[in-house]
Structure 1
């Protein structure tokens, strides 16, 4: 009871915080032969920057999934764990679940569900991309039978969905054969990154747990390059709790490349790299962030410091200049690039060049920056005035 109350309070708090940024629209649909209500969340700062693009999340079951997802997206962006997102919630028909129904004997989508599928693909997505500044990174979110519908988007010949988030999925009995019939290796041939998240839970029936487990195991064995399968098991006695836990856990996985370098990432991918490889890793990380999410972060200082020891301690520090040049390439306004180039010259006893580079870096700093005086000490130490 306490957990449910806390979840409800969180949702209400988030709703109060962003309700003024919600746009309600009735979208006319040729495929549904009617209007369909959608809710659009525009992140803070969207109007102030006319160039920046934002990842797009399409959330089904809008009545209760939209608020939870938007609340989590705000929290993750404020904590610098994910980019700000544009989120569109799509209302669903309650009558017998017509929007997500499928043939119980074959697993194929019914005519009404196929129409809704096409509405999402050809009308909702088109409207959002033509009306708002969206980046190429697109997420689909659904729960229960909506998650089953989302899995059908894997069959598309062109891989245009980056992230499939299936919460508390109610897959058809034919999900295994359907996945095998899709050309999933196509994802590995794309110069892009894809995620498929699904959660199991101890709150589900044994039959449902077994079905999800089979899907998770089957996808995990494929080992497709660029196609990240994220299997999750949530221990709880409530499917509502499982849903509220699954969304932030899914966002953590889907946007892991966006986050700063963690100890786990460092130990797994960076620790044993040679200096040039470590520099390339960091450069590619931020180029991928800009490509996927439309966000030019520069480079987080924490990530620079994360690989600093590799650059300084390996190969006698001979790669310090390469390190500085990489930083200046991605983050030209940062004094850190000039600092590492200056340090390279100082290590090589090229004092005049070192002083000059330190002065260039110092010139980029705000005098009120608490680190400015310490930075200037490099110039004084070498006798530069």
Structure 2
């Protein structure tokens, strides 16, 4: 019964992916032919909206597109990564020519060089013109196409900010070129690579050698991640690799973790409104998307402020929350909490009463606020007259 339900779920997901996928034939002047594309837009995609989305370019879209779309759907459902536009390149019999390279350098030449130009000067501009894209672009490739996509990293201003190498088949000096380039990159770049115990032996050996070189790169701009799975083949490592890669690449986007709470927030020097503002500004700068601070995140930094006995942060967090959304109660509630903590009872009572007129939230509802008002009334007003 369980197997039948699982099979049904997989079939429904496959139908959903196909139903929401745009199939397009793109005429390329560089290649003097048409190329088939698969394009998956976010569920709530609105071309008139100001929202912008990261773009994931999937080489070998014949077979890699659906696994990538499935993993993106899974992680966005749980808010572990931003909704993204996924573009799959159907390569088929052209794959050999697309990946054509110099045997010494490993870099694209002839047919491969034309395919490289097609990606950078035709495909990417086409996607940017027609869809709501951010500047954050991810390249995903398997074996030969993973080797090919690394060539984009060697440009002065790489168009991809993240590289997902699924059992890459490094050619010539490509691994050496990569490690040398990553030493000098100044802007953040994410680089993920995976192999497995049952991977193709020559590929696995080359990947392990490349991993040794990349581990020696000392550059804070580089976010390097490596996995070596046990028992997976050259093909079955793909799904696990995609899961791990997207999880690592978009780690900053995810809600505050227990580790971040303990190691970064509790020890932060300065008020916590500054910490959370910088965190979300980095999300915007890195991924090119504007993400509002959630009430859950505000609750976490308020909890941290209380654990730190950091009364000053409470008021500033409240002001930040009110600036983001003045219609909800939690910003005013935090400011009232600050006034109560410093003994300004009249001001606290007035602020709590003001919060009652605002929209309730899952954490701060009217019952909670009324308890605060009643508690202050029982305690009695202090002699303070300054309620400004």
TM-score by length of 2: 0.88
Please say if 1:350 is aligned against 2:344.
Answer: yes
Aligned to 1:371: 365
Per-residue CA deviations over 1:70-128 (Å, capped at 9, x if unaligned) read 11111111111011111111111425611012222442323111111111111110001
Q: Which structure 2 residue ranges, 5 or more long, are not aligned?
A: 381-388
Q: Is the 8 A contact 2:106 2:172 kept in 1?
A: yes
Structure 2 SS opposite 1:36 = strand
1:361/1:211 CA distance change after superposition, 3 Å? farther
Corresponding residue for 1:114?
A: 113
How far, CA to CA, are the matches of 2:363 and 2:245 in structure 1? 37
SS at match of 1:115: helix
**Alpha carbons of structure 1 residues 7 and 222: separation in structure 2 relative to 1, 3 Å:** farther
8 Å contact 2:179–2:217 — kept in the other structure?
Answer: no
Question: Is 2:330 the partner of 1:336?
Answer: yes
Provide closer, same or farther for how the CA distance between residues 104 and 367 of structure 1 changes in structure 2, counting only shifts above 3 A. closer
State the match for 2:386 in structure 1: none
Confirm whether residue 228 of structure 1 aligns to residue 223 of structure 2: yes
Question: 1 CA distance for matches of 2:76 and 2:33?
Answer: 35
Q: Residue in 1 aligned with 2:98?
A: 99
SS of residue in 1 equivalent to 2:231 = coil
Displacement of 1:194:
2.2
2: CA distance between counterparts of 1:273 and 1:296?
A: 24
CA contact (8 A) 1:325 1:337 kept: yes
Paired with 1:205 and 1:100, the residues of 2 have a C-alpha distance of: 19
Does structure 2 conserve the Cα–Cα contact (< 8 Å) formed by 1:102 and 1:110? yes
- Secondary structure of 2:225 counterpart: strand
2:354 to 342, 356, 360: 360
Q: CA deviation at 1:367?
A: 9.0
For residue 251 of structure 1, the aligned residue among 246, 254, 274 is: 246
Give the whole-Å Cα distance in 1 for the aligned partners of 2:373 and 2:216.
57
3-state SS of 1:202 partner: strand
Q: Could you say what secondary structure the match of 2:315 adopts?
A: helix
- How do 1:3-82 residues align onto structure 2 when only pairs under 5 Å count? 12-47=11-46, 50-82=49-81
Q: Is the 8 A contact 2:53 2:85 kept in 1?
A: yes
Confirm whether residue 240 of structure 1 aligns to residue 235 of structure 2.
yes
CA distance in 2, matches of 1:234, 1:114: 33
Structure 2 Cα separation of the partners of residues 11 and 32 of structure 1: 36
Would you say the 8 A contact 1:275–1:311 is kept in 2? no
**Structure number with bigger Rg:** 2
Among residues 295, 301, 311, which one is paired with 1:307 in the alignment? 301
> What is the RMSD of the two structures over their aligned residues, measured on CA atoms?
2.8
Preserved contact between residue 195 and residue 254 of structure 1 (Cα < 8 Å): yes
Equivalent residue runs for 1:82-161 within 5 Å: 82-95=81-94, 97-161=96-160
Contact 1:299–1:331 under 8 Å retained in 2: no
Cα offset for 1:206? Answer: 3.8
Asked whether the equivalents of residues 55 and 86 of structure 2 are also in contact (C-alpha less than 8 Å), the reply is: yes
The partner residue of 2:277 within 275, 283, 297 is 283
Query: In structure 2, how many angstroms separate the alpha carbons of the residues matched to 1:374 and 1:43?
Result: 37
Q: Answer whether contact 1:56 1:87 (CA < 8 A) is retained.
A: yes
Q: Which runs of 5+ in 1 are unaligned?
A: none
